[in-house]
A and B are shown apart, each in its own frame.
Chain A
Amino acid sequence: MTATTLAERTEIRAMARELARRELTPRAAALDAGGQDALHECWRLIVELGLDRALLDEHHGGAGLGIADLLATIEELAVGDGGIAMSVLLCNAALTTLVDEQLAGVLAGTRWTLVPAASGTEVTISEGKINGKVVCALGAHGADGLLVVLDGPEPAALAIGAGAVGSRLERDVGQMGLRAAPAASLELADVDCAPTSGGSVSVAGALALLRAGTAAIAHGIARRAYEMALEYAHARQQGGVAIIEHDAVSDMLASMAVRLACWPQIGVDPAGLAIDEAQALAAKIAATDAAVASTTDAVQVFGGTGYMVETGIEKLMRDAKYCQLFPEPNWVAQDELMRSERACRAA
């Protein structure tokens, strides 16, 4: 892993911010409507900047970023579009969890996605075969490869190439949020698999990365909601004054600003791939709850206009809600947090 300097990290973040502003924000509505052209163009730009494999080292064609850099980058991307940011997160999480020999077979520019699954209830592994079904696997539709990570007593990662014998993907047409990370239900029937415990990032580390990344995406979405609501509140007049002059509106904007200021920090080695799992869980819960609250308030600031799809603000609310539910609903994340706390104390 190549350590990046502060200047480099700042530059990467600025580059992502610029990409979000110039390319993603104008395409956000098309991405939300399921526009394939917009999706392919955005992914092409992501690949061009090397963000699809940002965490991989140069030897594997990556940018050699640390997790802190990746989180900062995807937060910026999420200001433009949460779904694209999620695709970048899922691709990086998948690729860093592959072992070297698997990674060697991954072609440049291809999109991989990490699919978290519950071992025993959703999928089972027996005698080198994997069976089961995972619904609403974000990013799975149209992905070139899937990395199914099994949580549970024996964590494992299983790489499945697109079109693997026995696997079937069906687009989740009802997907409500983060639609630029197109979801699918994944059915696996006696698919050959060789589980590993992970590559440069372990299975547990991959899940922590997903949680921390989802928190960063939620923060980016909340930032965008605040920017849009603030701008609208200055421009829109009711009662003869800009609506920001009304306490009813300014109170909501203040709450949004406070939530952004209280964004939880995650302890990560700036250049490395280690991440504090408990902090990632806590950050995911806090950030996604805050994002749902802020985006809901933002729609309220816009009033009836905000409820209309063309405004683009209600999309942020839907995207934020999906962050709250991924990779697991927050109440399950809370449960996980306390389980790890109990485990620590017992140890």
Chain B
Amino acid sequence: MTSITAERSLREPERSLREQYPRLLPHENRVDVRELERLRARAHSFAEEHVRPRALEIDRRTGEDPSWFDWDLVRAGAEHGMLSFLIPKPAGGAGGLSTQAAVVMEELCAACPGIALIFGAHALGISPLLLGGPSQWDGVLAELIGSERGGEPQLMACAITEPEAGTDVEDPDLLRRARITSHARRVPGGFRLSGTKRFISNGSVARWITILMATDPRRAAETWTCFLVDTQSEGFTVARVEHKMGQRACPAAELTFDEVFVPDERVVGREGDGAPETMIVLACSRPPVGAIATGIARGAYERVLGWLEEDRAARGLLERQHVQLALAGMEEEIHLARQLYMDAATELDHAALGGVMSHPGVRALGHVPASVRGRAPVRGWLASDRARDATVALLHRTTSERAVTRSLALSSMAKARGGDVAMRVTGAALELAGLRAGPVRAELEKLWRDAKLCQIYEGTNQLNRLEVYRGLCHSETIGCLPPLRGIHPGTNGRAHTNADVHAHPDTGALGHASANGDGDRS
């Protein structure tokens, strides 16, 4: 049975990305389609050779021992470029954004969502560093590339959720009223981090973690800040690894921070910019979650179709209209879910954030050899407050809060609908097969368990739909760009100033722009 379903899953890549997503036009979306096809082929090859054959066994083992982890799989993934597709080219990566992450995720998730999540959570850990600009290229990102090429890859994670604050930390409004218990305390030369983060994917195996903490928990939204934490630091502990319903190959850990020191140069972006940075990161990460869900649905569809076509126990079922209608419904839902996540990803990469990466200044800096960028004066300047301000200014110059808000809403739509599609399709596939289906039943049950998480992580579907309301139905503009400090660039004919945002008087961190979207409807 395994071989039958494996053959089935090979069919999908025979359809090109352009066939699957007709709107993928290179000149409009700044996507190198051939490069994207090659990345997808690499992901597919990795999925077929390494992921799918191990999926059930890893699920079983991690069901017995949640802390068990398959590093061989990570090494194999590194060989296929699965750890560096999001790392900028100047740092040695493939320079992908949301579209690349999404395409990879669908391929891996059709094979095993739990294993895919290892690579997805790694990409999520990297995402805040991309907002840090060129100052991050020669630090940890270069180290990640080096470790990948050296055959001993390092993983990253992103830590946002706290025991008393899940949904609250993924929305700036809720963050103001959240029960934040963690705290980053200013000390000479950096910060001391204390508190607990929960349900952190890759948390127990990551070498580096990007973490969001408030420097003043009473004003969490205004002082939310991103830090890069070395997990070998004193005071960092993995308190426990959770026993999950599904997606078990990727461990979810509770992490405790007991006065963990983080030097100033490992503050990602600027102090107090964490809330808008989180919104941008979520806008980037939700299309890939939509793709995860689509991949899960596709995996279930392909498996049940393979079973119906080739298993003796299913003989005659394909002639039943009920079965044909169910399969058609699955195909329909998967197709729509894919259009949604590709729409969201390409919109984000093109309209919202693409301008930053393709900006002549950034590209020019990318041509400067790393050895020059690594010299003390250059490195010092890149890490300076002035350079960080310049990075934010560039964001304002190349995009707008409205564009990012709209992208966030599309991303949320793709995520929420994708999660629902994954649940419906896996449930329907399992029902078609029933308990008597033999080996394929175990795969379908696993995918059904895996699918449920897609409705929960990266913000519950309910929270995501409220983002859709705010960004599309109500045309709100969310404060999702870090505020300008003393720079007044023009952006597409529209001047941005600090007056555009409700900046905190002390930190300059922003809250929401006018909730009714006055003057900023597009």
Which positions in A face B, CB cutoff 8 Å? 121-122, 134-136, 138, 173-174, 176, 183, 237-240, 246, 248-249, 292, 296, 299-300, 303-310, 314, 317-318, 321-322, 324-326, 328-332, 334-335
Contact = CB atoms under 8 A, between A and B. Distances in A.
Given A238-B166, A248-B466, A307 B427 contact: no
B339 interface: no
A218 to B, nearest CB: 14
Interface of A is mostly: helix
B182 interface: no
B165 A238 contact: yes
A318 B463 CA distance: 25
Contacts of B243: 308-310
Nearest to A138: B435
Contact of B460 (A121, A122, A300, A331): A300
A237 B180 CA distance: 12
B359 interface: no
Contact of A331 (B165, B432, B435, B441): B432
B434 A309 contact: no
B427 A292 contact: yes
Interface string B231-267: 0000000000011111000000000000000000000
A156 to B, nearest CB: 19
Interface in B419-441: 423, 427, 430-438, 441
Given A174-B441, A296-B423, A331-B431, A304 B449 contact: no
Contacts of A321: 427, 430, 448
B435 A248 contact: no
Contacts of B430: 321, 325
B432 A174 contact: no
Given A304-B457, A325-B434, A331-B326, A299 B452 contact: yes
Number of contact residues on B: which range applies?
35 or more
B346 interface: no
Contacts of B427: 292, 321
B441 A136 contact: yes
A136 B436 contact: yes
20 contacts: A135-B436, A135-B438, A176-B449, A240-B177, A240-B178, A248-B466, A296-B452, A300-B460, A303-B460, A304-B166, A304-B457, A306-B456, A307-B244, A307-B246, A307-B453, A308-B243, A317-B245, A329-B431, A329-B433, A329-B435
B204 to A, nearest CB: 15
Given A238-B174, A239-B177, A314 B452 contact: yes
Nearest to B175: A239
A329 B167 CA distance: 36
B462 interface: yes
B179 interface: yes
B432 A329 contact: yes
A308 B251 CA distance: 12
B434 A248 contact: no
Question: For B326, B460, B466, which residue has the most chain A Cβ atoms within 10 angstroms?
Answer: B460
A313 to B, nearest CB: 9
A248 B462 contact: yes
Nearest to A121: B313
A307 B456 contact: yes
A138 to B, nearest CB: 8
Given A135-B438, A314-B452, A308 B245 contact: yes
Which 4 A-B residue pairings sit nearest by Cβ, starting from the closest?
Answer: A240-B177, A248-B462, A136-B435, A314-B245
A298 B456 CA distance: 12
Contact of B445 (A176, A183, A249, A331): A176
Contacts of B460: 248, 300, 303
B341 interface: no
A307 B431 CA distance: 22
B164 A309 contact: no
Interface in B60-81: 60
Interface in B320-344: 322, 326
Contacts of B432: 329, 331
